[in-house]
Structure 1
Amino acid sequence: MSSSNMSSPKPVAPVTGLELPICVTCGVQYDAPRSDCPVCLDERQYVAWAGQQWTSLAELRASGRSGRLREEGPGVIGVGVDPSVAVGQRALLIRSPSGNVLWDCVGYLDDDLAAEIEELGGISAIAVSHPHFYGVMTEWGRAFGAPVYIHAADRDWVGRPDPTIEYWDGDIQLIAPGMTLINAGTHFDGGTVLHWADDPEGRGALFSGDIFMVVMDRRWVSFMYSIPNFIPERPSTIRRALELVEPFDFARIYGAFWGRVVAADGAAALRRSADRYLRFALDDEA
């Protein structure tokens, strides 16, 4: 990674896919018009009750939407859309001396938002947790000249393939100093979390999207195969995820939505949350 935080702002590349179709329900952009959205046809998501609907970046811009930036934690800036698009998640700009990393993505980008982020040091790499949060990730990767890291197990869900997308295999992948992707495998086979070892507090942070979902009681997380359809995750999958994350220390867990952050004791919160989940999931087997 380059030391983009220390450099002067530079122009970002223009958006080239203004008219490409974006699913209204999930916010994923595709490379050509189509009649259906595979992400929404999957049992983890849903087709809107009124049927499949499409929009585009051009339409979203014309609707009056704008980017929203807000601090979510030490060295972490939330990146969202107002009014929200599709699922309503916010991405997170992790401000590292070795180069900013964008964690997860949204279904929107405009020139003003890109310029604001460039003022903050730009983006050196993008990593996305799972298909529901792909949004317009190809546009983001092209605009900032940044690689977009996607686990290879979820390759078939990518709606707009592009050379900016880098598929990685295996359990872990270092993408920058102190930045490690972990294939937790919950929610999707390629479901990924990001560990930041060098956060400003010096205690470590885990960025989980809804692979580990920070719940309303922000001392806890949960594990779902499908969130909107209330399908629980498999116990064996959760156990594997815990084994992979166990070696990493972290105090904070950043979830998928505004304010969904476990602010302290994150590693212990993950473990006790898994213990509680498994206790209920396996109760009939005891």
Structure 2
Amino acid sequence: MTEYLCKTCGTQYPDQNPDPELPPSHCPICEDERQYVPETGQQWITSSELKAQHKIKRTEHGPGLYSFEIVPRAAIGQRAFFIQTPYGNILWDCLAILDQSTIDWIKNKGGLAAIAISHPHYYTAMGDWSDAFDQAEIYLHHDDAKWVQKWHPAVHHWTGNNIKLNTDITLIKCGGHFEGGTVLHWQQGKGFLFTGDIMQIVADRKYVSFMRSYPNYIPLPATKVKEIGNSVADYDFDTVHGAFAGRTISNNGKQAVERSVTRYINALQAS
């Protein structure tokens, strides 16, 4: 069976047509107002074609922390993070391809205990990643369950406001960008927060921002932004890692989030 991915968002789809060589008819992820279908129309690419044209770049960010990116850039262009802990390794967010060299490298580091993903735009080829590591459990918030386009037995739709994956790793539901929008807190050193698109680190790397749709510039209401700020208020963190390469706040990350919430709400309320 040919496995197709949406070229715009990187979501992998199951065979949906009588002819397995035909791509799916449409991509609900891109048709939603938080994403977009390009002016040129819906386009598809197979997993094998994507792997032939791209590779995975690995970057070390410190002890036990690495990121993966697809190069040249493909789809949305996000990075995924590999977090080493004494209780098992975690993949945060996901990519549309997984190559053999990355599989070998991760296995040499002890494999994956779990995969956690911030929101549906980054579900991509999560099933392939799980299969490569003994069907590592995939943690997605239940509020976004309807956005899973390719069912996989390893998917665990967790509920509530937070869940601990191990002693050091906690997933926190923030909502906002998506109803089940999630961030990851790593209790290591002064603490790390991994935000995906739920809090987007801005160009000056001193603030974050919050949007319902980034490509379509749809803001969130002040009430939602306040909820996001409150959701992480009880966690200590110094470093904030965003979805894209270079978008990291290296110091005083908690204070940056707090002042960003205030700035955003003040901007909305200004007359």
Change (3 A) 1:124 1:215: same
Q: Distance in 1 between matches of 2:161 and 2:8?
A: 30
Q: Distance in 2 between matches of 1:127 and 1:245?
A: 17
Corresponding residue for residue 197 of structure 2: 210
Alignment of 1:1-286 (within 5 A): 19-33=2-16, 34-63=24-53, 65-145=54-134, 146-197=136-187, 199=188, 202-284=189-271
Corresponding residue for residue 21 of structure 2: none
Percent of aligned pairs sharing the same letter: 43
Letter in 1 for 2:88: G
Q: Distance in 2 between matches of 1:170 and 1:282?
A: 30
Letter in 2 for 1:29: Q
Unaligned segments of structure 1, at least 5 residues: 1-16
Q: Distance in 2 between matches of 1:245 and 1:74?
A: 24
Unaligned segments of structure 2, at least 5 residues: 17-23
Q: Secondary structure at 2:258's aligned position in 1?
A: helix
Q: Distance in 2 between matches of 1:138 and 1:264?
A: 34
Q: Distance in 1 between matches of 2:182 and 2:110?
A: 25
> Contact 2:85–2:168 at 8 Å: present in 1 too?
no
> Contact 1:206–1:253 at 8 Å: present in 2 too?
yes
Aligned length: 263
Letter in 2 for 1:130: H
Q: Secondary structure at 1:176's aligned position in 2?
A: coil
Structure 1 runs of 4+ with >6 Å offset: none
Q: Distance in 1 between matches of 2:73 and 2:205?
A: 22
Give the CA deviation at 1:74. 4.0
Q: Distance in 2 between matches of 1:73 and 1:207?
A: 14
TM-score (norm 2): 0.94
> Contact 2:117–2:139 at 8 Å: present in 1 too?
yes
Q: Distance in 2 between matches of 1:259 and 1:126?
A: 22
Q: Distance in 1 between matches of 2:122 and 2:77?
A: 9
Give the CA deviation at 1:120. 2.3
> Contact 1:66–1:113 at 8 Å: present in 2 too?
no
